[in-house]
Amino acid sequence: MLPGSIQISGETLSGAEIRDICESLRENSVRLLSLRGCQLSERDFGHVCRGVAESRSLAQLNLNLGIVSNINRVKQLAEALKTNRSVQSLFLHGSPLTDAGLALLNPALSIHPSLVALDLGDCMLGDEGINLICGLLPPDGAKSGLKELTLSANPGVTSKGWGRLAIAVAHSSQLRVLNLDYNPLGDQVAGMLAVAVASSRTLEVLDLEGTGLTNQSAQTLLDMVENYPTALRTLILAENNISPELQQQISDLLSEGEEEEETEAREVTAREKNSWICQNNPSSQMVLMTSGLGDSLLAETEM
């Protein structure tokens, strides 16, 4: 039987329900476990963590909205992740981790062999927490790292911390999605992020919704998109003091870049197909070279 999912939201879980969850984890029949906003005892949380440690099928673990509510639970989760090898996505949005809690969790996150998506939104983080997160964005393929990172609503981080993150993003060889919505970033931090985006070879999605930006930031981002090659395809600027005209200009340029990339991909596919035809059919090779058909073909790819 293929692994399934257990998704429970906002309920008080009984001991019997916890036993069923843990048995499913141990039997490797769960790929997604979401206990978003649920209430469970300290003892039962420990049981769940031991089940996570033993599971070889669990790919996504959602403990959003206060499940990891104290340092003891952070420690138990960290121990589980040190043993677990399968979790790819970990969601802790709305957990009061603070920098101290993240420091306890970080060693397990750093060595986990499969983790690629991490949500630490609204986790009461500061600059020290950001420094730890930067270690999960290794440069130049030095080791595996995060592809998706959410740090929404962590107002305790200062411009110094965001600057440190911008440097890590610029040099990350894997990060594709970065969500920084509802942080008081302002124009200065947005300028640093624009440099990071221009430097990154992988970042495709950047969410800056509700981050205190103005037309000054938008103009910087517009210049970046217009004048520098970038992997960026989606830039979210809603709920900022930015004119609709500037937002539309940025959106149009990003759309053009995506269309050009799709066209290039189609051309590469066509060239590869033509090359294969030529190698396997000499008469086709002569037709393609003398009739110009090759050119015409290339013209035608939770919280």
pLDDT tens column, 11-30:
999 999 999 999 999 999 99
Across the range 229-238, mean pLDDT stands at 95
Confidence of residue 256 (pLDDT cuts 50, 70, 90): confident
User: Which backbone phi and psi does 156 adopt, to 5 degrees?
Assistant: -75, -10
Domains of the chain plus CATH, in order, are: 1-119 (3.80.10.10), 125-261 (3.80.10.10)
- Strand stretches in 60-216, DSSP E: 60-62, 89-91, 117-119, 148-150, 177-179, 205-207
| pLDDT on residue 294 | 33
Residue 287 has pLDDT above 70, yes or no: no
| pLDDT on residue 301 | 30
Q: Tell me the HSE value of 11 on the side-chain side, using a 13 A CA sphere.
A: 10
Q: Which amino acid is present at 244?
A: P
Confidence of residue 165 (pLDDT cuts 50, 70, 90): very high
| pLDDT on residue 170 | 95
Query: What is the Cα–Cα distance from 184 to 254, expressed in whole angstroms?
Result: 25
| pLDDT on residue 230 | 92
- CB-based contact 94:121 (threshold 8 Å): yes
Residue 98 has pLDDT above 50, yes or no: yes
What radius of gyration do the chain's Cα atoms show? 23
Confidence of residue 260 (pLDDT cuts 50, 70, 90): low
Confidence of residue 271 (pLDDT cuts 50, 70, 90): low
Residue 2 has pLDDT above 70, yes or no: no
Listed residue (183, 179, 241) closest to 211, CA to CA: 183
Query: What is the Cα–Cα distance from 47 to 171, expressed in whole angstroms?
Result: 39
User: Which backbone phi and psi does 2 adopt, to 5 degrees?
Assistant: -70, 145
- Give the pLDDT confidence of 54-95 residue by residue, as tens digits: 999 999 999 999 999 999 999 999 999 999 999 999 999 999
User: Which backbone phi and psi does 33 adopt, to 5 degrees?
Assistant: -120, 115
| pLDDT on residue 285 | 33
The mean pLDDT value of the chain amounts to 87
Query: What is the Cα–Cα distance from 182 to 19, expressed in whole angstroms?
Result: 38
pTM, to two decimals:
0.85
